[in-house]
Structure 1
């Protein structure tokens, strides 16, 4: 790389984010309060996260953010959608497998574990008062607008159930003209059918568009009627049949305040495993083309731009992706923004502008890794250390044998020499102020 180009390129990286020293000064607890914020370079404990669920109504996948209509204690349809942003190490799960926001259909009901913005000054979504989840909305609803909008874990219903060892037990259905309602409880899988007296019953709707999965089959309501499993019309007890459900929301007749809708029913483990495998392969292809994200832990500086870097790979990926990181392998490394957008390369492509190096070590830290971390540390040596590769900064890294492709324009930041943090697009102003 010619010297003038290198200097301009390093200046761009300096403008992309605060210096490492500034990031590391962020405190995870505000003075005199019990308020918790994630800290740069540390994976926050899951037990400190605020939990809620709601309907996905908007996605800005390139910036890893969107809006969710949060379930409170009032009329669900009246709740204003609330913006959220994925933390850099935040994990998305769909159909029991790793996912990207672009994989999840709008209308899907998601379970959220989230924190206050780590640094409100650079939040990509509006920052709310820290006690906002305690306030009433204009309709008197509490909990529908939490300030905890930086997400560590975002998962759909089957992912949530599998992680918690839960199943839905179907109690009774009522069917007419290929649509109706199902009464069910979500309870531990280990309990016998209907054996959990503490599980509260929930009524969900279904219709002819509901997909029913059994093994490799995708069934229709008419198929279950023909088999005699479901009646053509009327009510039938389902005796606590254990299934996994995909849950969405749609407007409901009869003035019901909150009632969710069944998009999918997985009748057996084979069907769920097949859905998870399909989603896993989709996500693997995505990471191959966008590179593996990681957090820089330390940098040992050498002479003339050389350095040895230690980083932790982010969690939530398929095991085969981590297996591709082997000692002595050649790798390409780029600095990225908190949205995981490449900040090095621009129109030239990430590989052309990347730092290159050799993996010196790949180690697994003992014990269970915190959510967001893979627990896998890598050390690599490079002869081109850039501002984007500093302690607590985020990088994307790929083995040399992964595909060499260019990012679509919305997934990288321009490196023309005049970039500022406010040039990320769209700005938070796209979110309405209700």
Structure 2
């Protein structure tokens, strides 16, 4: 079977029946979330928000867009590896788990009353992932029955099993392919013409594929309302998939090392003359190598952040300190939490380090740099561009 257990996220539980509003400062239970899938049509990666055109089973009419914001501890995965919204191309089919906004008065996307099936009130995501990431997490793969080509385009007859109440697509599908479809085999990047030239697929008659196991990323099709999709990427073997995973993993590692690890302040022990010892839980969903850099007895830096994880000028207004403890406080942490608590000593406590606040932490071996100017918070409208930008 063509899959690998790459994620530590547990298989999806059943979707909650009633809307659930997370409490600020607490990691919500995943089973209280609602599952939605749709096409990514807009991204504001700086503020970790965007819009999906939802696919709703049994609903065949155009509707409003589903505007969403990532929770501070929300996890993004792309190509089976940790990711940021900036990594995901517009048009990617995504699968997510959503809640009501923790505080409607500060929501960076419009509050919704739930009157339209394509614009549900659950607008804050704890998990957003593409098709390959979902399949890898649930240990499943697409199986191909037949490829039918006609000139420069064609179709794939494919099937994907979906457990009862599971996320994602399920059943048999006829998916379109053409010269825009990226085909990955080992370290090769191929097109339809290459497979025809090698006589792997026949250009004139259907090619039986005998339930070949693959992973696929799907994109928009004009008949998307009827659950028809176009194949954007197809990985023909495990080697090809591992190449994609590693490329995305390295992109993620570089991003976090230059923006620093986000965490939530749990408690503070105050010393004299402004000195303090801070205990903070690192957010989950990051690559394991990043957590491994947090070790007792090394220097570091802590900077205040806000709900979108944006900082001000971290290399300048962050506080130098020392990591004095790293503890695994939970072996089975809820989604969004790493279960790792860091104890950090600072010579001067800052207002942004209060319990419940969000910070970013840099171990001493990470770059001490400022993020790009558009990612830095400088004023209220920079922090919260009005939700009116999502107006219809």
Q: TM-score, normalised by structure 1?
A: 0.82
For residue 79 of structure 1, report the CA deviation from its aligned partner.
Answer: 3.1
The 8 Å contact of residues 169 and 187 in structure 1, kept in 2 or not, is answered as: no
Q: Partner of 1:283: helix, strand, or coil?
A: helix
Distance of aligned partners of 1:123 and 1:240 in 2 relative to their CA distance in 1, 3 Å threshold: same
CA distance in 2, matches of 1:60, 1:428: 11
For 1:4, the equivalent position in structure 2 comes to none
- Give the C-alpha shift of residue 357 in structure 1: 1.1
CA positional deviation for 1:389 = 0.5
Gaps of 5+ in 1: 1-32, 138-142, 190-197
Q: Name whichever of 82-91 and 350-359 sits farther off.
A: 350-359
* TM-score normalised according to structure 2 size: 0.90
Shift of 1:200: 1.8
Does residue 361 (structure 1) correspond to residue 332 (structure 2)? The answer is: no
In 1: Cα distance, 2:185 partner to 2:149 partner: 20
Displacement of 1:180 in angstroms is: 1.4
Other-structure match for 1:266? 235
What secondary structure sits across from 2:105 in the alignment?
helix
CA contact (8 A) 1:107 1:250 kept: no
CA RMSD of aligned residues (A): 2.0
Indicate the SS of the match to 2:226: coil
Conserved in 2, the CA contact under 8 Å of 1:300 and 1:308? Answer: yes
Deviation at 1:186, TM superposition (A): 1.1
* Distance (Å, rounded) in 1 between the aligned partners of 2:63 and 2:112: 16
Q: 1:96 aligns with which of 57, 60, 80?
A: 80
Q: Which residue of 1 aligns with 2:262?
A: 293
Q: What is the CA–CA distance in structure 2 between the aligned matches of 1:279 and 1:388, rounded to whole Å?
A: 32
Residue 188 of structure 1, CA deviation: 7.1
Q: Deviations over 1:70-99 (max 9, x none)?
A: 1113336x2332210000010110000011
Question: 2:45 matched to 1:61?
Answer: yes
How far apart are the structure 1 equivalents of 2:334 and 2:384?
31
Question: Matched residue pairs, number?
Answer: 370
**What is the distance in 1 between the residues matched to 2:39 and 2:18?**
29
- How far apart in 2 are the matches of 1:46 and 1:124? 22
Q: Is the 8 A contact 1:167 1:188 kept in 2?
A: no
CA displacement at 1:325 relative to structure 2: 0.7
The structure with more radius of gyration: 1
Offset at residue 237 of structure 1 (A): 2.5
Equivalence for 1:182: 156
Q: Does 1:43 align with 2:27?
A: yes
Listed as ranges, the gaps of 5+ residues in structure 2 are: 1-16, 164-168
Q: Give the alignment of 1:106-185 within 5 angstroms.
A: 106-129=90-113, 132=114, 135=115, 137=116, 143-185=117-159
| Structure 1 position 173, deviation (Å) | 2.3
Deviation at 1:428, TM superposition (A): 0.7
Give the structure 2 partner of residue 429 of structure 1. Answer: 388
Q: Deviations over 1:267-319 (max 9, x none)?
A: 11111111010001111111111110001111111121111110110111111
